C-alpha cells in the first residue's frame, strides 16, 4: 500500500484490524457469511459498534464519464459522510458534463485534467473509474499503487496483459477492487441467485442467458477493438457474471462466435455473438448477445436468465423471477428491494455485510470474457 | 422405383407427368412456387383439374407406434379416399395399441407382425414409420426400395452410416421422403418463417432456440445411445430444423455440449445440452435442449425461437409470434390456421402446393443433428 493513503484513509483507522474486518466477510460462502460474520466481527472487534463508521468521511473521486459512473455517484447521498471530493477527465476531450450535472458534484468537488495528478494530490478513499474501456486498467493500476480502493467500469481491463498487471497491482497493494456488475443487485437476479442457493431447483444443469441492446449512438472509441475491447467484454460480461454467480458453478471450457453484420461503421464492435460454456459440474451454459434491438423496443438490455436444474426451472425474464418446481404451482418469486451499488460496497467497508461481488471476482470474470473473446476470434474451444 | 408400385400407385396414374407435378413445386423458392406453380400446372396439365385427385384412393400403411404416428393418422379423415389399409409392428413387443385405438384404424385395416411382409404384400402409396428410433432407417430403406413414399419419424436415421444408406435408397428410387418435423406447421413458427421471408427483420443475424421437455416416463430403448440415438437427434432436431428453416440460412460450423446429470438410469439419454452454430451469412445460432421441465410445468416442449435481424427482432414464445421492428409499435403477428401434416403433404402430391418440408430436408437436417451430436461427443468444432 502507498504509505500516505494506507495511513490516512479514515475508514481504515476506525477498525482495530482493518484487513480482517474488510475482507474476512467475502472469503466465505455468502449464506454463511451473512448469518454468522457480523456477530463474529462484533465479538472479535468490540469497539466496532462504538464507532460511528457510518458517519465517517468517505472521500470519493471519479475518473472519467464514459460508463456507469452513476452507480457510484447515486449512492453518495445515501451514505452519511460520503463526498465526491474530486474528479478527473478520463481522456483529454472528456467534458465530465454528466458528472458535473449530478447532485453529488458540489462546489467543493475539485476538478483535474489529469487523473494521476488528482491521485497524487487528493486523499482519496475510493475511486470510481469510467474511462474509454481500454484505459481503465491503467487508472486502476495507478490507484492501486497509491493504496486507493477502486470501483472500476467493466471490463476492468481489455487485454490479458493489462489484466495480469492489474491483478498484480491489486494483490501487492491489498486494495479492494470491485467492478460495475450492476445486475447482481437487480432484484430479479438477486431472487434467482437466492433461490438457487436455497436449493429450490436442485443442481443447476443448463443455464441460458441473454443480453440484447439497442445500438443507438455509440462513441467513436467503440469503432476499434483497441479502444473498445469487444462486445463480449463490454455487454455480455454481465451475463457471463450473473450466470456464474447465480448457478454458483465455474466455467471450465468455452466455444464462442461473434461478428458484425449490421453496423459496418463500427467494425471493432461486434453486433452479435454467442458463447457455449461447460460448467464445472458437467452442465452447460449458453449466453447470447446482440446490439440488434430496434429503437422501438420497449426495453434496453432485455436481460434474461433461465436455469434448468435437477428439481426445477428458474427464469428471470421481463424483470420477473419465475419458478417452476416439482410438487408446487409455478409462481413468481417475491423480489428483494432495489439496492445501491456504493451502499452495498460500503456495507462491507463498515463490516455489516459482504459486498455482493467477491474480492477476486472483478478480475476473474473479466478474464473469462477475454478468454471467450479469444475463443470467438480464433474459433477454438478453450479450457478455462 | 419398384416396378409393381411405380406402375400401380393410383395417385401416380392420375397425372400425365407424375414426376413433374409431384416434385417441380419443391425445387423452386416457396413464395414463387405458391404464387405461380398451381396456375402453371393447370396450364401444362390441362386434365389435372378434370380428375378427382382428391377423391382417389390413398393407401396408407403404418409401421410401429413409437413416435408421432398421429401426425399421419389424424390426417386420414381429412383426405377423401385416404385409408389406413395396413399396419405392422415396429418391433416384436409392439402392441400397436395406440394405432388400433385411433379412428383411422378400421375393420379393413390389416395387421402384420413383420413390416417387410406387409410391404411385400400390400399395395401401399405412403408408409408412416414410427419404430424405436434406431430401427426407422431400415424400414425406410425397405419402403424406398419398393417405391413407396415415406413419412418417417425424426431422426430418419440414428447413425451416419444408416443415413447415407437411406439417402442412397431414396435417390435411387425417386420416392418422396419426409420427416415428422411437426413444428414447421405450428401457426406460430409459420408466422415467424413468413415474416423473415417477407423481410420484416432484414437480414437474420442471431437466432436462439429452445427445446425443453418433461422427462416423465420414457421407454427402455431411451436408455442406450444404440437404440435411442441421443437427445440432439430426437428432441433438439425440431429446433435445428425450425431455426434453419425460419432464418433461411444454412449452418456452416457447430460446437456442442451434452450430458446427463439428473437421470442416471438413462445414461444414453442426455438430459441437457447446447449447440452453437455459425450461419452461412456470418451470423450465429444457438439451440439449448433439456429434459428438465418439472411435472408441474404448464407446457411440454416450451418451444422458443428468437431471431434478431438487421431491422427487427421476431420471437416465438408461448405459442405467440412477436415482432419488434424499427419504425413500428411492437406487436403480435396474426397466426395462420393450424394445418395437418398429412393434408399438407397431400397438397404436394395433388399439385396444389409444395409440402412444407423440401425433398432433401429430412436427410439434411438429420445429418446436421448427427454431426452436432458428434461435436458434443468429441468436444471438437465441426465444419458442416
Q: How far is A304 from chain B (nearest CA, A)?
A: 12
Q: So what's the ipTM on this one?
A: 0.86
Q: At what angle do helices B160-173 and B361-378 cross, to 10 degrees?
A: 170
Q: Give the mean pLDDT of chain B.
A: 88
Beta strand A204-214 with A284-293: parallel, antiparallel or unpaired? parallel
Nearest CA in chain B to A322: B297
B105 SS3 class: coil
Residue A38's pLDDT is 46
Which domain covers residue A64, as residue numbers? 3-180
E strand or H helix at B208: strand B204-214
Residues A300-320: tens digit of each pLDDT:
778 999 999 999 999 999 999
| Cα B222 from Cα B270, distance rounded (Å) | 10
User: Which of A108-117, A139-148, B22-31 is predicted with the least confidence, judged by mean pLDDT?
Assistant: B22-31
Residue A54's pLDDT is 52
Angle at B259 between CA B257 and CA B262, to 5 degrees: 145
- Is residue A147 situated within a structural domain? yes
- Is residue B163 situated within a structural domain? yes
| CATH number of the domain encompassing residue B302 | 3.30.360.10
Q: Are B289 and B211 in contact (CB under 8 A)?
A: yes
Question: Are A165 and A263 in a shared domain?
Answer: no
Residue B365 has pLDDT above 80, yes or no: yes
Dihedral class, residue A229 (left if φ above 0, else alpha if ψ from -120 to 50, else beta): left
CA distances in angstroms from B211 to A26, A211, B214, B225, B273, listed in the order given = 38, 20, 10, 20, 10
Question: Are B162 and B232 in a shared domain?
Answer: no
Residue B4's pLDDT is 36
Q: Are A87 and A151 in contact (CB under 8 A)?
A: no
| Cα A348 from Cα A353, distance rounded (Å) | 5
Q: H helices within chain B, ranges in order?
A: 3-8, 10-14, 18-27, 30-44, 70-76, 97-100, 115-121, 136-145, 160-173, 187-197, 225-228, 231, 237-247, 341-349, 361-378
Residue B56 has pLDDT above 60, yes or no: yes
Residue A25's pLDDT is 33
Q: Are A183 and A159 in contact (CB under 8 A)?
A: no
Nearest CA in chain B to A294: B326
Q: Are B384 and B244 in contact (CB under 8 A)?
A: no
**CA nearest neighbour of B61 among B132, B109, B106:** B109
Contact B296 A325 (CB under 8 A): yes
Domain closes at, from B313, B338, B363: B338
Residue B25 has pLDDT above 50, yes or no: no
Residue B67 has pLDDT above 70, yes or no: yes
Residue A5's pLDDT is 38
Residue A297's pLDDT is 83
Show the cell assigned to B276. 452453437
- Is residue B283 situated within a structural domain? yes
Q: Give the one of A202, A296, A326 whose C-beta lies nearest to B329's C-beta.
A: A296
Binning pLDDT at 50, 70 and 90, where does residue B351 land?
Answer: very high
Contact B253 A212 (CB under 8 A): no
Residue with the larger pLDDT of the pair B377 and B326 = B377
Question: Are A11 and A54 in a shared domain?
Answer: yes
Residue A224's pLDDT is 97
| Cα A22 from Cα A176, distance rounded (Å) | 9
Question: Are A199 and A110 in a shared domain?
Answer: no
Residues A98-108: tens digit of each pLDDT:
999 999 999 99
Show the cell assigned to A217. 449512438
Question: Are A189 and A175 in a shared domain?
Answer: no
Question: Are A159 and A196 in a shared domain?
Answer: no
| Total domains, chain A | 2
Contact A276 B293 (CB under 8 A): no
Residue with the larger pLDDT of the pair B113 and A48 = B113
- Residue entry with cell 458534463: A97
Residue with the larger pLDDT of the pair B216 and A37 = B216
Nearest CA in chain A to B272: A206
Binning pLDDT at 50, 70 and 90, where does residue B43 land?
Answer: very low
Full 3-state SS string of B26-83: HHCCHHHHHHHHHHHHHHHCCCHHHCCHHHCCEEEEEECCCCCCHHHHHHHCCCCCEE
Q: What is the mean pLDDT of residues A213-240?
A: 96
Question: Are B170 and B195 in a shared domain?
Answer: no
- Is residue A299 situated within a structural domain? yes
Residues of A in contact with B247 (CB under 8 A): none
Q: Give the one of A290, A327, A330 whose C-beta lies nearest to B298's C-beta.
A: A330
- Is residue A166 situated within a structural domain? yes
| Cα A267 from Cα A265, distance rounded (Å) | 6
Show the cell assigned to B117. 411382409
Q: Are A87 and A139 in contact (CB under 8 A)?
A: no
Residue A295 has pLDDT above 70, yes or no: yes
Question: Are A165 and A230 in a shared domain?
Answer: no
Question: Are A165 and A240 in a shared domain?
Answer: no
Question: Are A102 and A229 in a shared domain?
Answer: no
- A21-24 — which CB contacts under 8 Å span 24+ positions? A21/A45, A21/A48, A21/A351, A22/A176, A22/A348, A22/A349, A22/A351, A23/A176, A23/A359
| Cα B100 from Cα B87, distance rounded (Å) | 9
- Residue entry with cell 464519464: A65
Helices and strands in chain A, H and E counts:
15, 15
Size of interface A-B (CB pairs under 8 A): 164
Domain closes at, from B180, B196, B218: B180
Domain closes at, from A118, A152, A180: A180
- Is residue B254 situated within a structural domain? yes
Residue B21's pLDDT is 33
| Cα A198 from Cα B317, distance rounded (Å) | 29
Residue with the larger pLDDT of the pair A286 and A51 = A286
Question: Are B294 and B198 in a shared domain?
Answer: yes
- Is residue B300 situated within a structural domain? yes
Angle at B280 between CA B278 and CA B284, to 5 degrees: 30
Binning pLDDT at 50, 70 and 90, where does residue A383 land?
Answer: very high
Residue with the larger pLDDT of the pair A17 and B163 = B163
- Is residue A254 situated within a structural domain? yes
| CATH number of the domain encompassing residue B67 | 3.40.50.720
Contact A296 B325 (CB under 8 A): yes
Residue A6 has pLDDT above 90, yes or no: no
Question: Are A194 and A166 in a shared domain?
Answer: no
Binning pLDDT at 50, 70 and 90, where does residue B17 land?
Answer: very low
Residues A172-210: tens digit of each pLDDT:
999 999 999 999 999 999 999 999 999 999 999 999 999
Amino acid at each position: 500500500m502507498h504509505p500516505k493513503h494506507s495511513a490516512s484513509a479514515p475508514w481504515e483507522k476506525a477498525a482495530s484490524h482493518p484487513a480482517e474486518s474488510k475482507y474476512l466477510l467475502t472469503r466465505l460462502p455468502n449464506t454463511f457469511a451473512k448469518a454468522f460474520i457480523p456477530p463474529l466481527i462484533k465479538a472479535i472487534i468490540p469497539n466496532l459498534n462504538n464507532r460511528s463508521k457510518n458517519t465517517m468521511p468517505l472521500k470519493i473521486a471519479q475518473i472519467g464519464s464514459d460508463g456507469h459512473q452513476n452507480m457510484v455517484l447515486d449512492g453518495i447521498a445515501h451514505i452519511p459522510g460520503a463526498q465526491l471530493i474530486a474528479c478527473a477527465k478520463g481522456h483529454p476531450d472528456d467534458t465530465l458534463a454528466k458528472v458535473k450535472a449530478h447532485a453529488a458534484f458540489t462546489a467543493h468537488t475539485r476538478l483535474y485534467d489529469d487523473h494521476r495528478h488528482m491521485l497524487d494530490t487528493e486523499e482519496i478513499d475510493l475511486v470510481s473509474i469510467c474511462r474509454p474501456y481500454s484505459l481503465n486498467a491503467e487508472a486502476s493500476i495507478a490507484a492501486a499503487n497509491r493504496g486507493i480502493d477502486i470501483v472500476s467500469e467493466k471490463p476492468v481491463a481489455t487485454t490479458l496483459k493489462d489484466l495480469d498487471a492489474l491483478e498484480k497491482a491489486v494483490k501487492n497493494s491489498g486494495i479492494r477492487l470491485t467492478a460495475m456488475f450492476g445486475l447482481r443487485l437487480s432484484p430479479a437476479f438477486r431472487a434467482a441467485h437466492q433461490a438457487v442457493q436455497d436449493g429450490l431447483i436442485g443442481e443447476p444443469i443448463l443455464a441460458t442467458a441473454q443480453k440484447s441492446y439497442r445500438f443507438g449512438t455509440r462513441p467513436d472509441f467503440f469503432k476499434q477493438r483497441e479502444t473498445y475491447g469487444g462486445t463480449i467484454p463490454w455487454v455480455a460480461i454481465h451475463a457471463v457474471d450473473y450466470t456464474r454467480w447465480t448457478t454458483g458453478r465455474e466455467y471450465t471450457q468455452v466455444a464462442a462466435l461473434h461478428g458484425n453484420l449490421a453496423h459496418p461503421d463500427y467494425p471493432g464492435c461486434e453486433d452479435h455473438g454467442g458463447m457455449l460454456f461447460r460448467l464445472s459440474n458437467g452442465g452447460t451454459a449458453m449466453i447470447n448477445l446482440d446490439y440488434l434491438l430496434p429503437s422501438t423496443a420497449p426495453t434496453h438490455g432485455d436481460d434474461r436468465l433461465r436455469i434448468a436444474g435437477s428439481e426445477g426451472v428458474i427464469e428471470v425474464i421481463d424483470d420477473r423471477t419465475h419458478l417452476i418446481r416439482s410438487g408446487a404451482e409455478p409462481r413468481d418469486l417475491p423480489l428483494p428491494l432495489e439496492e445501491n451499488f456504493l451502499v452495498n460496497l460500503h456495507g462491507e467497508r463498515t463490516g455489516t455485510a459482504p459486498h455482493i461481488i467477491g474480492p477476486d471476482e472483478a478480475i476473474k470474470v473479466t478474464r473469462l470474457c477475454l478468454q471467450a473473446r479469444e475463443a470467438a476470434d480464433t474459433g477454438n474451444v478453450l479450457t478455462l
